[in-house]
Amino acid sequence: MPGPENHDAAQLRLFCRLMLGSADAADRVLRQIHRRAPDGPDEHPSDRARLFRMAADLCGVRRPGPKRRIMHIGVIGATGTVGSRIVTEALDRGHQVTAFSRDASGIEDGRENIRWKNLDATDSGAIAGILPRLDVLISGSGAGNAAKDPTEPGIHAREAAALLTALEGRLRVRLIVVGGAASLEARPGVVFAGSDELLDAAVLRGHDEALNLFRASDRLWTYLSPAGEIAPGERTGRFRIGGDQPVTDAGGRSRISAEDAAVAVLDEVELPRFVQRRFTIGY
């Protein structure tokens, strides 16, 4: 695309290279996109999404019906509130899933296309060992899965560091992390503090440290900060997407169901739009 390459154009190129495995093939797709949309990625989210859908079509990602691309997805923290729903959403969409938990020995799961394994989310060597079979690794593990004190401030950064270290030899494996809402901003540069839970300094610092580690890396990471209020509920498939500021409803609440958070994660798996970026969701 002509002119100075903005961040969205760079991500579009990265997406095409990831999907096609070739810089030359990616450039051919980008030329086709430029012919159809000569102005390149726009600042408006809907225009950006349109270009990524176009890229996905040209890269063969959005294939309908039985020709849909099936991926092998790993889910860390697969027994958690969000992680378990990510597993279900992935299976419902026909993907192959390897589900990880600190202790999966007692889990009985009769569903097809899933296997369970033990994994410590802070052990980079163990994580590296599971990557060769995966297209995408999703980390949905909460801090409570790796430490007795869920607000222990170093746990988020340790998990982030372990994930990034493990990916050093597998640069094409995508990483999607479900983090926390604590690091969202009420306005640019001002951290969101929309509920008492988000006022805990240790939690806030931990999520900030983890997110900054991802932002400083060159891995194919995506970071989802869900809404301030997230709990089991209804799968509607209808929600709004934001960037660094929370998405709020008409009453000013930042909320999402765990089921719809899983939908957002799998949408990003199947159609990457936030490579090396953070995004958020809400009603």
The pLDDT score that the predictor gives to residue 276 is: 92
Edge to edge, the sheet with strand 277-282 lists 114-118, 96-101, 72-76, 136-139, 174-178, 221-225, 277-282, 240-242
The pLDDT score that the predictor gives to residue 104 is: 93
256 to each of 226, 229, 239, 264, 283, how far by Cα in Å? 7, 6, 8, 10, 6
The pLDDT score that the predictor gives to residue 56 is: 78
* The CA-based dihedral angle spanning residues 249, 251, 257, 263, taken in that order and rounded to the nearest 10 degrees: -10
The ranges assigned to domains in the chain are 7-58, 70-282
Q: What is the mean pLDDT of each run of 10 residues along the chain (283 residues)?
A: 58 79 85 74 61 79 62 96 96 96 92 96 96 94 46 80 94 91 74 49 76 93 92 95 91 94 95 91 95
> CA 114, 234, 185, 276 torsion: positive or negative?
positive
Tell me which of 3.40.640.10, 3.40.50.720, 3.30.300.30, 3.30.750.24 is the CATH number of domain 70-282: 3.40.50.720
The pLDDT score that the predictor gives to residue 3 is: 41
For residues 127 and 166, give the distance between their C-alpha atoms in angstroms, rounded to a whole number.
Answer: 6
In a 3-state reduction of DSSP, which class is residue 218?
coil
